[in-house]
Amino acid sequence: MSQLGDLQARMAEITRRLNSDGAGKTTQVIQDALAAAGLKPPSMSAGTKQKLAPQNFVSDLLGKLGLGGAATTPQADTQAPDLNGGKFVAGSYANTAGSRRYKVYVPSGYDGEAMPLVVMLHGCTQDPDDFARGTQMNALAEEQGFLVVYPAQEASDNSSKCWNWFKAMDQQRDQGEPSLIAGITNEVINQYGLDRKQVFVAGLSAGGAMAIIMGSTYPDLYQAVGVHSGLPYASASDLTSALSAMRGASGTSLSSSRRGGASAKLQAIPVIVFHGDRDATVSPSNGTGLIDDFVARFEQTAASEEKISTVVEEGKTETGHRYSRTSLHVDGRPVLAEHWLIHGAGHAWAGGSARGSYTDANGPDASREMLRFFSTQRADSESLQD
């Protein structure tokens, strides 16, 4: 049996023991499972015992394994994001699936006009303030004239504050967390009178996985998706498959297995993907899987004369990182998808500020490139929805 297959079997055993023995008696099983798979167990001080609350055990373990952000990565400062003359307004939304807080950045130039909206989904252990600092999206909103909303995952719903992208209920339209994020999006659009033809969603890691879920389940609401260090739509349905997907077991093979299935039948919503080729938390193969999914969806719905062309460009940022950018397009349309593979980069938002967690200042500037990509999609959005 492979190391990963052995880990999956051991995780199934852990789940069974949790139900019967509780978390306290499964510690050694966990340590053995991680060691057998070549993974580093959660660190413990010598002579101490680590306690995990049974009700939060799964999400605690996911956080310690780096689901959406390495748990050992130093956290950023706790200062509020720079307002740049605008307002950062707190709000909350509730429906039958629960409730979530959020924050909205309103640029100083907003005067009631129908501006675009960007929905930003943070990674594990993050919150709206932290994510705003790291991505610097508020400063870009001030510069370019759009609103940004940051839904907040609650520790009560995932103790590491990861969006629950790996739960089947949270991968469906009008259910679970997708219904809450869509509800927040609509609430902000209505409150500020924003342009429904210019609504976009982006996220990091667990937030990136949730962003593609949002684009896949609400293609009528979001015109394009930005995914940084994330995973393909429905690439996991539980803890075991989440660990497998993160380590790359499903990455590029996932889409081929779906070409005649559910993913291929979904709409090919434009997507821009960033992933570091040294990401040890979420395998870079997931970035390739996201693009493969787009192609599979497009081929299912495209007219017979529409064929995707691929252009690969090599470049280097002024601040250090080399990258390979693959662009997918059809003649007469804007670029439909982009894949940025950043050489030498790990699990961090490219071009981000050190004032936020999980950032890499050595570029390329993922925030600015996502906005550039989003701006090309409005003219083509109606034809993609036909």
Instruction: Say yes or no to pLDDT of 287 above 90.
Output: yes
Cα gap 22→56, rounded to integer Å? 11
Write out pLDDT tens, residues 181-201. Answer: 999 999 999 999 999 999 999
Average pLDDT over residues 23-36: 49
Confidence of residue 263 (pLDDT cuts 50, 70, 90): low
As a whole-number percent, the residues of the chain with pLDDT over 90 amount to 64
pLDDT at residue 355, as a whole number = 96
Instruction: State the chain's mean pLDDT as an integer.
Output: 81
Query: In terms of domains, do 133 and 186 share one?
Result: yes
Write out pLDDT tens, residues 119-150. Answer: 999 999 999 999 999 999 999 999 999 999 99
Cα gap 174→225, rounded to integer Å? 19
Among residues 205, 229, 244, 357, the one annotated as catalytic is 205
As a whole-number percent, the residues of the chain with pLDDT over 70 amount to 72
In a domain, 82, yes or no: no
Confidence of residue 84 (pLDDT cuts 50, 70, 90): low
In a domain, 69, yes or no: no
Q: What is the total count of domains within the chain?
A: 2
Query: In terms of domains, do 163 and 122 share one?
Result: yes
In a domain, 313, yes or no: yes
Query: In terms of domains, do 303 and 250 share one?
Result: yes
Query: In terms of domains, do 227 and 164 share one?
Result: yes
Instruction: Say yes or no to pLDDT of 333 above 60.
Output: yes
In a domain, 298, yes or no: yes
Query: In terms of domains, do 172 and 285 share one?
Result: yes
pLDDT at residue 383, as a whole number = 47
pLDDT at residue 303, as a whole number = 75
Query: In terms of domains, do 29 and 101 share one?
Result: no
Lowest mean pLDDT among 102-106, 270-274, 295-299: 295-299
Query: In terms of domains, do 229 and 355 share one?
Result: yes
The residue with greater pLDDT, 278 or 386, is 278
Confidence of residue 300 (pLDDT cuts 50, 70, 90): confident
* Active site (annotated) includes residue 205: yes
Query: In terms of domains, do 341 and 272 share one?
Result: yes
Instruction: Say yes or no to pLDDT of 332 above 60.
Output: yes
Confidence of residue 260 (pLDDT cuts 50, 70, 90): very low
Confidence of residue 66 (pLDDT cuts 50, 70, 90): very low
Query: In terms of domains, do 35 and 181 share one?
Result: no
Instruction: Say yes or no to pLDDT of 161 above 90.
Output: yes
Write out pLDDT tens, residues 53-62. Answer: 333 444 445 4
Confidence of residue 30 (pLDDT cuts 50, 70, 90): low
Query: In terms of domains, do 92 and 34 share one?
Result: no
Average pLDDT over residues 222-226: 98
In a domain, 182, yes or no: yes
In a domain, 77, yes or no: no
In a domain, 48, yes or no: no
Confidence of residue 248 (pLDDT cuts 50, 70, 90): confident
pTM comes to: 0.80
Query: In terms of domains, do 116 and 34 share one?
Result: no
The residue with greater pLDDT, 251 or 177, is 177
Instruction: Say yes or no to pLDDT of 38 above 90.
Output: no
Q: What is the CATH number of the domain that holds 152?
A: 3.40.50.1820
pLDDT at residue 53, as a whole number = 39
Average pLDDT over residues 142-165: 96
The residue with greater pLDDT, 260 or 381, is 381
Instruction: Say yes or no to pLDDT of 253 above 80.
Output: no
Query: In terms of domains, do 106 and 234 share one?
Result: yes
In a domain, 379, yes or no: yes
Confidence of residue 306 (pLDDT cuts 50, 70, 90): confident
Average pLDDT over residues 44-58: 39
The residue with greater pLDDT, 293 or 42, is 293
Lowest mean pLDDT among 30-39, 151-160, 322-331, 371-380: 30-39
Range of the domain at 26: 3-40+53-64
